[in-house]
Structure formats: C-alpha cells, structure tokens
Structure 1
C-alpha cells in the first residue's frame, strides 16, 4: 500500500496535553524511567535546518533537549550522540509530535548514554544505509540506556524489493523502543532486529513494548520477518529481551512473524491479529511465551506458536481461529536434528506447555517436520492443563513421529485425540462464551485450572503506537470507487489517467481500438456496461502494463488480437520490466480473449522479474486461439525461494487451441519459509493446449515448487501432460474428479523427498 499522504497526516494530528507514562506497564522505575522531553528540561534548543542541528549536537549536556522544527526534513542522516544520565537524559524531539517528517534518504543513529528520541515520522523515502533507526554510531560506538518513543515509520522501504534493509536495529544494552508505529515494509529484511554480534550487545535487557506493528505484505521469499532477536551464529547466547504489549496486525511477510534466535527472552501479552505465520522459537533456550493472544479469524495461514530447542515455557496463551498448516500451524512442536549444527534445528527438551486455550485451530502439529534429517523427537517435555476445542468437531492434532517424550496430563478437549496421547485428555462437551475481555472462556475449565486464566486481558490496538497518526485501514477493493462512463477509445484512455484506487471505467457497447500502451498505476476495473458487448482491439505489442502500485480487473469484456501487430511475443498484460515494490492483483472475470495468433509467442499475461501478485484470478472466462501462454509466472529462476504469484485461481473457464500452457509457475530453491505459491483450478475445460513447438515445458500446466495445488472437476482433452514438481515444504497436491480425455494423468515428481509421490489423486476419469 502506498505511503499515507502528508496532508492526511497533518489533518489527523492532535496535540497532546500530557506525555505517556514513563514507568512502563509495571509502574516501576528502572530502565523504564527515562524522562520524556516534554517534562521540564534545563535547556531547549530549537534547530531549523541540518547545519543548526549538527552544530547544536556537539555541545549537548545532561538535561538538554534538542528540538527539530516542524516541517519536512529531506535527506537527513541524523547522528544523535551525547552522554546523559539516568536523572537527566539528553532528548531529541519534534517541535510538535508527528509534524517533523523525515523524507528522502534519511535515517537516525544514536550513540552514547541515556538518550531519548520522540515524535518523529519517517515516510516517503528510505534509508541510504541498511538501517533506518540504529542504536549505534558504528561498530565501536553504541547506545546504552536509551529510548526511542512515539516514532512512526510508514512505507519507508527501499524501492529495490530485494535490496535488504532493516527499520529498527538494537545494539548496546538496556535500550527501549516503545509506543511507536511501524507499517508497510515492502522490501526484504526484518522490520525490527536485536543484534547480539558483540559482547557489548549480549545479555542486553532491551525492552520492546506498546508498539503497533501494522500490515506487512507477503514478501514471496525468506526475509520477511517482523521481529528477530539474535541470529543463528549467536543463538546460544542470552539476550534477556522483553517483548510485551505490542499489537501485530496483518504481519504477513513470511512464515515467521517473530523469529527468536537467542536465549532468555520474554514474549508477554502481545496480540497477533490476522497475521500469517507464527511466533517462532527458532533458536535459543530458556524463553518464556506468556499471555499472548492470537486472533486468526479464519484467515488463511494464520498461525500461533512454533516450538524448537530446550527449556522453553509456553503458558497462559490464547489461540483462536487459526488455519495455518505445517510450520505455520496454530501450534507446532518441531522435531530437531541430532548433533545439530548451530543453524539447524535443536531438539525440543524440558519444555513446558501449560494452561493455554486453543479454540477452533485447524492444526496442532507434534513432532512436526519429521524427515530424514529431523529425527530428534521431543523429550522430557510436558503438555498439561490446556483447553483444546474445535466447534466443528475435528481433531486438530497431527502426529508426525514418536511423541512419547511429551507427557500429556490434565488437558480438556472437545474431541478425542490420537490413542498415543489420549490418556492425557478428558473429553468433555465444553461450553464457552465470550467474556468481557473478548476471549472465549469456559468457567468449568478455569475452575479446574485448565486453559488460559480468566484474568487474561489482550492488549488493545489503541493502547499501542501513537494516537496522532492513523493506524492501517483495510485494503481498497476493486469496484469500490467512482464510476467513469466512456464510449470511445480516447475517453477510455483519459479516464484511466485520472482514475484513483477502486475506480471503475465502464464501457458502453462497441468496438475500441487500443493504439497505445495503457499504464495501470492504481487499482482499477475495466467493465462492460452490458457484459460481452464491448470488444477491445489491441494494436500495440503490449496493451496493459501494471506498474508499481497498480492492479487490474477486466470484467465482461471481449478482447480480440486480430488487429495486433505482426510481431513475435505480443503481450496483452505485463508487469513493468523494472522490479516492483508493491504487490498487485489481476482479475479476469467473464471475459473472452481470442485470436492472439497474428505471430508466435503471444501471451495473455507475463509477470515481471521480482514482481509478486497477491492474487491472479480467472473466473467464468474463455481463451481461444493463442500462440503463447495464458499465465507466465516463471521469472524467478535463480532458485532463491522467490516466486511471482501467491494465489492463482482458475474457475469455470475454458482454454481452447493454446500453443503454450495455461500456467507456468516456478518457485525454486530449498527455503521453507514461504506460504505459496498456491494454484487452484476447478470446473474448467482445457482442450488442445500445450502442443506448440516453442512450449519448452511440453506441458499444458507446469508447476514447480507450488506449495498447494488443487485440480478439481476439470476436463482435459487432447492436451499435453500436467507437470508438477514437488520441491520443499511438504507441498499439498490434490487432483480430484477430473476427466482426462487423450491426456495422461498428471506427472508428479518428488525432487528432494524420497519415497512415493505425496499427491492425492481420487475420482479421476481417464478416457
């Protein structure tokens, strides 16, 4: 989503008469007690430009407050350094919170002792270095006992999606980041990281609290975590970081929302709202996960907690409506690797899982990830006093290996689990109702000390971040904006140039010659006023170009290639050839595309390198006489786990006389941290597809590395074979109730896993 406008920021700004509490959620002094700069200070120095700042910062003393004047500060690399003390920190603040805007190539470094930063906004730019906010000047000069509070970073992403950077990076010791707003990181790299790469940053006792972690879109690769504490190399080192009372909303970057890679950390009272992935104890021992709440609301791939390593405690957490599978399940205890290298999977042992409430969660995975490498089953661990209830009556437990090393005791479930763990459960008809805290509760279970405590109170969204900057809104949908009625090609092009996100260009009946490229820069719909009475005639080698920030829906339109130029490689729709930062959507509904056959290799859609579609849908549409492919989603062949589309859905559509493939999807590499791609095709007809001599895959559908595939109720006739290559991540392939007329059954290859194919083929008719 593009960055919020500057005018919106100013409109929604409200002055504060008082500051937030400086004592933290415990109300106790200590590290939390750094005084904010709107308390009485010895000296306040207002600076109006970078030169004035650079001069003033040289002579700051304990108790001083340096004030940045309201306005836009462009290309400002702030180095804020000084030596304050516990009673008199040195403060850098905005003249008015939210009205000091850092844009362009800007960042912030802190160096010294007892420093406080507050009230700044980073937007409309990106850091020229690998960090937007860093608690250090360089590798030798760090910040300690310092605080960054009430700061906003919104969409401050490197325009090169896979040029990795981080937004907030902790170094030093006893630093705090709180009551801040981080939203819209679109590029590779963790949003927030705690580094333990030197002794001076280990056993650091940092605190991360009351922050709003707003939506992070699907990255389509590893490297999309929202928070990481430590790295594999230092994972046997303790951090003692506390992460509490934060709100994670739609943080969907990858399968790990939080990647814990160090020891002795605490994750307390955080809320995860409709966020894909899990709080993952990836490395490190002796961590505590307590009082956290996970609301999945049935959204796909929403997860809970994944447990690895030793001496972990997971208690008094609440999980509801989570649909995640495998590593991203609602609750997962993973197998480890015997004599594991530091960067792989250490065995789960001496772990306590107690007094958690798990309701309407699809998957509780025990000994998950079991394979030839991960053979070290959990040992010396317990699963006790937990409440497990699925209102649909399904058993959520999935057991992948020996779980005799986990003791199950005094749990209550609404349905019988597997025999090997059944002795640890009382099966009861549990009655639950939603309490004042918003959680489903069972008084009977709580009376028996089973499930989460009745006193568990989720952190509220409006208790996090700042109240002078708007939190994320829902994504703007197709067809939600203004409708522009057009009757000529000129009017069509003019209306598209003015369209805003959600707008509809409604075409009167007739023929439209399209003699120039149409850039798509917003989320727009081209819709026939009366379905299928409109015909577009592309007259350029490329018709629609989806640019960064654009999405396209075609609805009820005929598209004929009869007037296309006589050149090879014509494309109806394509991403820009430049890598894009924002994900897009493409919907083709009730549309007929025909006669893209003036020359060879004419394609309907061709993805750009380093582009990612959240969704591509073809519904109630038909495609005939095309010399290329329908969907080319195969640009990422460097085998880094990157791919071009998260969801591809084909429903009730027809493909006839297509020389290329209906879809070519490629996701190479061995990384297991992504959710997709997904390919679903139902109730469709594929006839004479894939036989063109330039179709190198020799397939009517080619899927490599797709994580979830469903082919159901389709008819394949006189077409090339469907080729499916399973790579990593335990892919799920279901091929049900299809008719194969002069077409062989799909060929499914297991590239890395040994043994028979894991694809499920049932009810298919072979003619």
Structure 2
C-alpha cells in the first residue's frame, strides 16, 4: 500500500479495504452485513442508470447476478478517500456482461469489482475505460477482481483495447485478462492530455492470460504511452503481474513514455520482450523472464536514454534478434520521435541469465540505425549456459558500453572479454527462481486460469458409419475435443461443414486406408470460431466438387470470428483435385490465421492449384496466414501450382513468422514454367532437410524483411545435380 492511503471500516466482499486507489487488498465478494455503506441492488439497466443519478459518496451499486447483455454502462460520481463509490457484482462470477457491453468511469474515488466480460465484444474502442469521454476522466479510482476473457471482436483486424487508463492516481489490480484475438493492445495507459500525464497509476497483481499470436503489428499485451507523447513521463508502477503466454507480437509490453517502473513481474512462455520502445528513465527490476524453452521467448529490449535493467532473472529463453534475452538496439542519428533514439546512459546491472539463446548488442545496425550505444554500463551480471556457448552477438562497435565485474561460464567475444571472468562451475552458484511473482498470487481466485492442455483433448469417442452426409451429421453434434472414428466405406458430403470447435476425424483401427471421402461443394471444411481439425487415415478425392475456380478442401472464414486454428493431416491420401483451376487442399481467408499446420505421412496427387495455399494477405502490412507449418515424410505429385504457397508482405518487424519446416518429402512434377515447386515470400524461418524435387522447378525463397537464414541439408534436385533446390531473391536491397 502506498503512503497516504486512508483506511475505512467498510467490509467489502468480506475484507476491510482502504479507499485510496493505490492499494493491494483484493475485493472478492459483497458482504451482506455492511452497515456503513448504502447498498443499492439493481436488476435492470434502467435501474442502474437511475442509481447512478442518485449515488453519493459511500454508496454501493450492486448488479444482481445474471447475464447483462448489451450493457453500455457508465459509472459517474464524486466519492472521497474515506467514502468511495462502489460498483460490484452480487456474488463472485455471478454477473456476466455479454454481447456488446462496456464500462466507462468518470469522477473520483470510484471502485469497481467482481464483474465478468465474456461472450461478446465491446461496441466501443475500449471494454473498460477510465473516462466517459475526452473531457470527463476518472481519477483516484480502482478496478479490481474483474475478468475479461475471450471478449474479442470477431473481425480480428478491427482494433480495440480491453482496458484503457486515463486520468491520474488510478489503480488496476487482481484482475484477469485472457484470450484477446483481435488487433490492439490488451491494456493501455494513455497520455494524450495533460490530465493523464505524470499519472502515478498502479497496475499490480493482475493475471494476463494467453494472448495468441496476432500475425501482425498491434498485438501487444500492455502499452504505456504512444510515440507522440513518448518524451512525457507517465510514472506508472507495474508490479507483481503474471504474463502467461502473452505472444501477440514482438513487444509483450511496449513502453512508450518515461519514468515508469516494472518490477517483480513474471513473464512465462511469452514470445517477444518487454520493450523500452520510446521514452526515457524507465526502470526494469526484479522481474522473471522464464521462457521454459518455448519458441521466440525473450527478455528486455533497450532503446532511448537513462534506462535501468537491474537484478532480473532470465531463464530458458530461445529468442534471438529482437526477441533475445537482452537486446540493446542501435539508434537513428537525430531520430524522429517515432523511430529509434540512441541508447544513452543505460545501466544493465546484477542480472542473471541462465540458458538463454541470445544477448544482442547493437541489434538493428544498418545504414539508418547507425548510432551505437553510448555512456552505458554492463556490470556485475551473471551469464551461464549449459551448452557452453556464448550468447553474445555484437552487431556494431560496443565501445560505448563499459563491461565490468561480469561472470560467465563460456568465453565472451574478444572485443568485450576484459569485462568478464570465466568460471566453469558458475551454474552451481546462482539460480533465477527467486524473481518475479507466482501465478497463483495474481488475478482472481474464483475464476479459472488458462490451462496448457491440447484443445483436441477431453472430448468423447464417437463411432460413425459410412453414408451420405455422415460427417456433417456427426460434427453437428460434436463437442470440443471429440474424436470421430470412421468405419470403412464411402462418405459423400453434399453440405459444407462449418467447424467451430476442435475435433479429430480418423479411421477406426483396422479401417485405415479404407475410408473414402468425397464432397460436392466448393469446400468440405470451413474453420471459424474455435475450429480446429485433425484428419488421420483417410482417402479424399476432389472429383465431385463443383466446376469452380478456387475450390479448397479445407479453408477458414473471418465471418463470426476466428481463433488461431490448428490443423493436422496424417496418414492420408488426396487425389483428383483438378475439376477446375486453382483447386487447393488447404487455404485461408484474408484476416484469418492458422497457428500451426502439420502434415506428415501423406500423399497429394493431381492437384490443379496448390496443396497449401496461404497467400491471402497481399496488402503488404506484415500480416500472414500461418505461424508454423511443418511437412514431413509426404509426397506431392502432379501439382500445377507451388505445393506450398505462403505470403507475408511488407517490412514490418513486429512479428516472428511464418516459420516453415519441410523434411523428408518428395516433389515430382510440381509447379510449371511460371510457378516454383515451393513459393515462400517473406518467411522468417525456413528449414529444408532431406527433400527431393524431380520434374519441376526449384523452390523460391523471397526475403522481404528481417535476417532469415535458411537452413538446407540433404536435399536433391533431380536432373540438376550440384544445384541447390532453393533459389533466393532478396528484396531488402
């Protein structure tokens, strides 16, 4: 609790509370026996509006349990430190705000608690806003023990934020924010007026649940400030928060203002970094960055002046370049406010780095970003990797950083080695487990936190007999995680199957290779909502599909919203997809994303388009349709277009993908005089191992941004012995 808080004898949700907003006492349930607070229980939106008109300091408005749909709530009032105005739910988790609902606060000393937003999305730019409008802000107010989960606009390109703090001296604590899918930061602190600058907000003990990959810029979990106001101080304290798999883009937190403090937070399996993107004089202390070996997990990225990174723990982080455990950027000389200001007077001290992939110094060095760090220090840090490899990469002259008192268990680069002591038993002396905050100490205790189980688990086994529309009928009744076991026989589907939950469709044991599937519409499966699909042991033919250009067996839809879909195809055959041009097996609609596609032990023959066609994002904004694509031990024969066609345009640096791995697979007669066997445009990670290409062109890899390093081994281009199967075109020049 900050100095100056005034406690009052009000029992709220079973606990005494201090009315000053800078507090850490969780508010969990309404105590029926509150004598010193006038409780106004409301059951309708009209009753709520009437209550707001009459509420005075010390009053409590209680929303009756139930679903409040399309509730555009505004709480206005003038409480005091001794007698705040309360808005709360009747019981923990009993009040659900759904449909197009939102909440705006205006006034002083307001406290909101115990609400749940889900099953819808905000009709405004913000779900919870610490202002009614640009002239009516909230000050010295608090939101606590509130949940926003999966409350995403169904159009993932539509931008909004779930929580936006304006005004001054506000508090956001013990809340649960999880599952944002559409564009825009999950939470924002705004400094767009003098009334919201030097704000002294306090953000603490919140659970920031999984933020899935957005596939473009605009997927931050938390942002303080904007470029325009970045030379202004916010003075926001962010502490004891848990960031659980927050992986929307390269910036988990985007710091764009000065004077902020981030301390005692935990970042678990979160891709990207806490990025000091703009603004000066920010402190990052006693945080834990635990990647747990997950891809692209990072720590802190340093830009601008007077930044302090002290006494943090960095553990099992795999990220490189912009997503390294520690990234010190090069700046732009005389930088405009929205680019990269030079690192000046940075202090990086007392941190522990354990089993991390990369410490990048001078990252981004190029003709524009040529201003190296100056007047800075890297001292008394510990760096230990079990593999004995140094994580340091120097991209430019680092003489502007003083290295001293550091300990490592592997030789650092010679240019900085005088500032390090090499100790072979270092890993036995230091550990990073005492940093950050525990997951169970954050959020609310009456609402479950996200699990890590597969969405294909936990359902029922359903037996399906062969017949007309048998799959359509079975999936219409399927629940998330169900497994449909198919008898041997013919399955002809005359209807499009709209799949909104994850299901597995596989041949029953003993029926492998004897399940024959055909379809009569331009698509068989359309994934939307939470839709995911596993196919195993099927024979699929496309000969009954209509004579349309651009048919696709499996596709996605942006209508009705879409998660980051999962698709797996195994032990299956696909033939006769030539009824018209550009017939594909897997495609994606614009504005949709597959998180992962896996194809293994399968064969594809006689296809007039591409087997995997993921090229809908042609606006060159850095967006794309797949994050991870893996193909192994599969065959592609007589495919007119590229077997795999993936497109990411533009030069945006905010995302990591796509990442493509193709192993032990054969391509025979794939592509033509205009099309390569494989077409990968803007892909960031590429591995081609032990593949063969025969009777067609080589693969094409077009580099548009970043520094991708294709890995090739064991590949063969039949008839072109000695030539690589991969042609590289670099558009960065």
SS in structure 1 at match of 2:516: strand
For residues 479 and 338 of structure 1, what CA distance do their matches in structure 2 show?
Answer: 53
- What secondary structure sits across from 2:444 in the alignment? coil
Aligned match of 2:497: 518
Residue 581 of structure 2: which of 595, 600, 603 is its match? 600
**Pairing of 1:239-250 with structure 2 (within 5 A):** 239-250=234-245
Gaps of 5+ in 2: 1-10
Out of 31, 39, 52, the position equivalent to 2:22 is: 31
Structure 2 Cα separation of the partners of residues 577 and 207 of structure 1: 37
2:474 aligned with 1:495, yes or no? yes
Q: Helix, strand or coil: the match of 1:360?
A: strand
Pick from 220, 223, 240 the counterpart of residue 225 of structure 1: 220
Aligned residue in 1 for 2:102: 107
2:155 matched to 1:160? yes
Does structure 1 conserve the Cα–Cα contact (< 8 Å) formed by 2:183 and 2:214?
yes
1:461 lines up with 2:456 in the alignment = no
- Note if 1:654 corresponds to 2:641: no
- The answer to whether the 8 A contact 1:641-1:671 is kept is yes
2:6 paired residue number = none
Q: What is residue 618 of structure 2 aligned with on the other side?
A: 637
Q: Secondary structure at the match of 1:732?
A: coil
Sort the Cα spacing of 1:34 and 1:533 in 2 relative to 1 into closer, same or farther, 3 A: closer
Q: Quick check: 1:690–1:720 contact (8 Å CA) kept in 2? A: yes
Report 1:380-399 matches (<5 A): 380-399=375-394
Q: Work out which of the residue numbers 276, 287, 310 in structure 1 matches 2:305.
A: 310
Aligned equivalents of 1:20, 1:253: Cα separation in 2: 38
Inter-partner Cα distance in structure 1 for 2:119 and 2:238:
28
1:527 aligned to 500, 506, 522, which one? 506
Question: Following TM superposition, by how much is the alpha carbon of 1:462 offset from its aligned partner in structure 2, in angstroms?
Answer: 1.2
Report how many residues are paired. 713
Q: Quick one: distance in 2 between partners of 1:234 and 1:430?
A: 47
- SS of the equivalent of 1:716 reads strand
Deviation of the 1:298 alpha carbon? 0.4
What is residue 651 of structure 2 aligned with on the other side?
670
2:685 and 2:103 map into 1 onto residues whose CA distance is 42
Alpha-carbon deviations, 1:709-738, whole Å to 9, x = none? 111111111212322111112223222221
| Correspondence 1:749 to 2:726 | no
Matches within 5 A, 1:463-612: 463-478=441-456, 480-490=458-468, 491-529=470-508, 530=510, 531-576=512-557, 578=559, 580-612=561-593
1:382 alignment partner, SS class: strand
Cα separation, partners in 2 of 1:41 and 1:726, compared to 1, 3 Å = farther
Secondary structure in 1 matching 2:228: helix
- Residue in structure 1 matched with residue 700 of structure 2 by the alignment: 723
Distance between the aligned counterparts of 1:56 and 1:618, measured in 2? 58
Task: Give the secondary structure class of the aligned counterpart of 2:185.
Answer: coil
- Asked if the contact 2:531–2:562 (Cα under 8 Å) also holds between the matched residues in 1, the reply is no
Deviation at 1:34, TM superposition (A): 9.4
Provide closer, same or farther for how the CA distance between residues 109 and 287 of structure 1 changes in structure 2, counting only shifts above 3 A.
Answer: same
> CA–CA distance in 1 between the matches of 2:24 and 2:492?
69
Is contact 2:682–2:702 with CA below 8 Å preserved after alignment?
yes
In 1, Cα distance between equivalents of 2:334 and 2:459? 58
Give the Cα separation in 1 of the matches to 2:412 and 2:564: 40
> CA offset at residue 40 of structure 1?
5.2
Q: Report whether the alignment pairs 1:704 with 2:692.
A: no
Q: 1:205-220 alignment to 2 at 5 Å?
A: 205-220=200-215
Q: CA 1:80 to 1:563, structure 2 compared with 1: closer, same or farther past 3 Å? A: closer
Aligned counterpart in structure 2 of residue 737 of structure 1, from 691, 714, 729: 714
* TM-aligned CA deviation for residue 577 of structure 1: 6.1
- Matched residue, 1:176: 171
What SS does structure 2 have at the residue aligned with 1:649?
strand
CA contact (8 A) 1:34 1:86 kept: no
Moved more, 33-42 or 370-379: 33-42
Q: Partner residue of 2:14?
A: 18
SS in 2 for 1:51: helix
2:8 is matched with which residue? none
Where do residues 49-448 of structure 1 align in structure 2 (5 Å cutoff)? 49-432=44-427, 442=429
- 8 Å contact 2:565–2:596 — kept in the other structure? yes
Rounded to whole Å, the distance in 2 between the matches of 1:270 and 1:35 is: 18
Larger mean CA deviation between 619-628 and 565-574 belongs to 565-574
The superposition leaves residues 87-116 of structure 1 with CA deviations (integer Å, 9 ceiling, x where unpaired) of 111111112232111111111111111111
- Judging changes above 3 Å, is the alpha-carbon distance between structure 1 residues 398 and 205 closer, same or farther for their aligned structure 2 residues? same
Cα distance change of structure 1 residues 626 and 457 upon mapping to structure 2, 3 Å threshold: closer
Q: Secondary structure at the match of 1:462?
A: helix
**Distance of aligned partners of 1:218 and 1:577 in 2 relative to their CA distance in 1, 3 Å threshold:** closer
**Structure 1 unmatched ranges of 5 or more:** 1-14, 24-28, 434-441, 444-450, 755-767
Deviations 1:500-532 (A, max 9, x none): 222211112223223332222211111112322
Q: Secondary structure at the match of 1:65?
A: strand
CA–CA distance in structure 2, aligned partners of residues 552 and 511 of structure 1: 20
Quote the Cα distance in structure 1 between the aligned partners of 2:110 and 2:574.
Answer: 62
Question: What's the secondary structure of 2:356's corresponding residue?
Answer: coil
Aligned counterparts of 2:549 and 2:172: Cα–Cα separation in 1: 56
Asked if structure 2 preserves the Cα contact closer than 8 Å seen for 1:572 and 1:603, the reply is yes
The superposition leaves residues 733-754 of structure 1 with CA deviations (integer Å, 9 ceiling, x where unpaired) of 22222111246642212212x3
Separation in 1 of the partners of 2:240 and 2:496? 50
Instruction: Classify the secondary structure of the residue corresponding to 1:208.
Output: strand
Closer/same/farther in 2, CA of residues 563 and 59 from structure 1, 3 Å limit: closer
Structure 1 window deviating more from structure 2 (488-497 vs 464-473): it is 488-497
**CA 1:564/1:68 → structure 2, altered by over 3 Å: closer, same or farther?**
closer
CA RMSD of aligned residues (A): 2.0
251-260 or 466-475, larger mean C-alpha shift: 466-475
TM-score scaled by structure 2?
A: 0.94
Q: Distance in 2 between matches of 1:601 and 1:31?
A: 60
1:343-367, Cα deviation, whole Å (9 max, x unpaired):
0001111111011110000011111
Contact 1:616 1:648 in 2 (8 A): yes
| 1:47-106 Cα distance to aligned partner (Å, 9 max, x none) | 111111111211222111111111111111111111111111111111223211111111
- Aligned partners of 1:536, 1:20: CA distance in 2, in Å? 64
Do 1:476 and 1:501's aligned partners in 2 also have CA atoms closer than 8 Å? no
> Cα deviation per residue 1:639-695 (whole Å; 9 max; x = unaligned)?
111110001111111111111111111111121000101111111111111117xxx
Counterpart CA distance in 2 for 1:579 and 1:88 is: 44
